[in-house]
Amino acid sequence: MLRIRRKIWGIAALVICAALEGGGQTASGGATSPSPQAPTLAPQAVPTPQPSAPVSEKSSVPSSAPTPATEMTGSQPSGASGPPTISLQQALVLAAKNEPSYASAVADKGIAGADRTIARSVLLPQVKYENQMIYTEPSRLVHDSVVPSTAAQTPRFIANNAVHEYISQGVVSETVGLDLVAAYRKTSAAAIVAQAKLEIARRGLVVTVVKRYYDVLAMQRRLVVAQQAAQEAQRFFDLTGKLEQGREVAHADVVKARIQQQQRQRELADATAEDEKARLELGVLLFPDPRSPYALDPKLNAAPALPTREEFEVTAAKNNPDLRVAISSLRAAQQDVTAARAGFLPDLSLEYGYGIDAAQFAVNSTDGYRNLGYAITGTLNIPVWDWFATPAKIKQSKLRRTQAQVELTAAQRQLIANIEEAYTEARTALASMNSLDESEKDAAESLHLTDLRYRAGEATVLEVVDAESTMVTAQNARVDGAVRYAVALSNLQTLTGNLPQ
Strand order of the sheet with strand 126-135? 126-135, 164-176, 347-358, 373-381
Nearest-angstrom CA–CA distance, 232 and 330: 64
> Which of 125, 123, 495, 119 shows the shortest CA–CA distance to 332?
119
**Which pLDDT score is estimated for 369?**
84
Task: Provide the pLDDT confidence category of residue 478 given band limits of 50, 70 and 90.
Answer: confident
Q: Is residue 145 pLDDT above 70, yes or no?
A: no
CATH of the domain at 263: 1.20.1600.10
Range of the domain at 302: 2-22+50-104+190-327+406-495
- Residue 140 within a domain: no
Q: Is residue 53 pLDDT above 70, yes or no?
A: no
Task: Provide the pLDDT confidence category of residue 500 given band limits of 50, 70 and 90.
Answer: low
Q: Which of 148-162, 321-335, 386-400, 485-499 has the highest mean pLDDT?
A: 386-400
Least confident of 251-265, 318-332, 441-455: 318-332
Angle in degrees, CA 107, 113, 117, rounded to 5: 140
Q: Is residue 31 pLDDT above 70, yes or no?
A: no
Q: Which of 158-162, 185-189, 200-204 has the highest mean pLDDT?
A: 185-189
Task: Provide the pLDDT confidence category of residue 78 given band limits of 50, 70 and 90.
Answer: very low
DSSP string, 306-370: P--HHHHHHHHHHH-HHHHHHHHHHHHHHHHHHHHHGGGS-EEEEEEEEEEEESSSSSB-TTS-B
**Which pLDDT score is estimated for 127?**
92
Nearest-angstrom CA–CA distance, 228 and 236: 12
Nearest-angstrom CA–CA distance, 462 and 439: 20
Say how many Å lie between the first and final Cα of the chain, rounded: 65
- Residue 353 within a domain: no
Residue 380 three-state SS: strand
- Residue 218 within a domain: yes
**Which pLDDT score is estimated for 458?**
85
Task: Please enumerate, as own/partner, the contacts of 297-301 that have beta carbons within 8 Å and a separation of 24 or more.
Answer: 297/76, 297/85, 297/86, 297/87, 297/88, 297/90, 298/42, 298/43, 298/73, 298/74, 298/75, 298/76, 299/87, 300/87, 300/88, 300/501, 301/40, 301/41, 301/42, 301/43, 301/217
User: Using CA atoms in the order 21, 25, 26, 31, what is the torsion angle rounded to 10 degrees?
Assistant: 170
Find out whether 212 and 284 touch, Cβ atoms under 8 Å. Answer: no
**Which pLDDT score is estimated for 87?**
84
- Residue 216 within a domain: yes
Find out whether 222 and 274 touch, Cβ atoms under 8 Å. Answer: yes
- Residue 162 within a domain: no
Nearest-angstrom CA–CA distance, 328 and 407: 11
**Which pLDDT score is estimated for 18?**
46
Mean pLDDT value of segment 454-468: 86
**Which pLDDT score is estimated for 266?**
93
Bridge partners, 354 (sequence order): 170, 374
**Which pLDDT score is estimated for 149?**
62
pLDDT digits over 163-195, tens only?
A: 888 889 899 998 888 888 888 888 888 888 888
* Share of residues in the chain with pLDDT > 70 (%): 79
Q: Is residue 499 pLDDT above 80, yes or no?
A: no
**Which pLDDT score is estimated for 150?**
58
Nearest-angstrom CA–CA distance, 261 and 253: 12
Find out whether 219 and 274 touch, Cβ atoms under 8 Å. Answer: yes
DSSP string, 115-181: HHHHHHHHHSPEEEEEEEEEE-PBP--SS--PPPPGGG--BSSTTSS-SEEEEEEEEEEEEE-HHHH
**Which pLDDT score is estimated for 63?**
37
**Which pLDDT score is estimated for 114?**
93
Nearest-angstrom CA–CA distance, 184 and 194: 15
Least confident of 73-77, 173-177, 410-414: 73-77
**Which pLDDT score is estimated for 74?**
36
- As a whole number of Å, the CA-based R_g of the chain is 41
Beta-sheet pairing, 295-296 with 85-86 = parallel
Sequence-distant (6+) residues with CB within 8 A of 391 are none
- Residue 344 within a domain: no
Q: Is residue 20 pLDDT above 70, yes or no?
A: no
**Which pLDDT score is estimated for 298?**
65
Sequence-distant (6+) residues with CB within 8 A of 217 are 41, 42, 43, 296, 301, 483
Mean pLDDT value of segment 279-304: 79
Task: Provide the pLDDT confidence category of residue 488 given band limits of 50, 70 and 90.
Answer: confident
Q: How many domains does the chain have?
A: 1
Q: Interhelix angle for 389-455 vs 2-28, to 10°?
A: 120
- Residue 260 within a domain: yes
**Which pLDDT score is estimated for 340?**
87
**Which pLDDT score is estimated for 57?**
38
**Which pLDDT score is estimated for 51?**
38
244, containing H or E segment: helix 178-245
**Which pLDDT score is estimated for 306?**
77
- Residue 40 within a domain: no
Q: Is residue 269 pLDDT above 90, yes or no?
A: yes
Find out whether 129 and 170 touch, Cβ atoms under 8 Å. Answer: yes
115: phi then psi, degrees, rounded to nearest 5: -60, -40
> Which of 173, 174, 169, 165 shows the shortest CA–CA distance to 130?
169
Query: How does the average pLDDT of the chain come out, rounded?
Result: 78
Q: Is residue 36 pLDDT above 90, yes or no?
A: no
Between 28 and 430, the more confident residue is 430
Q: Is residue 155 pLDDT above 90, yes or no?
A: no
Residue 471 three-state SS: helix
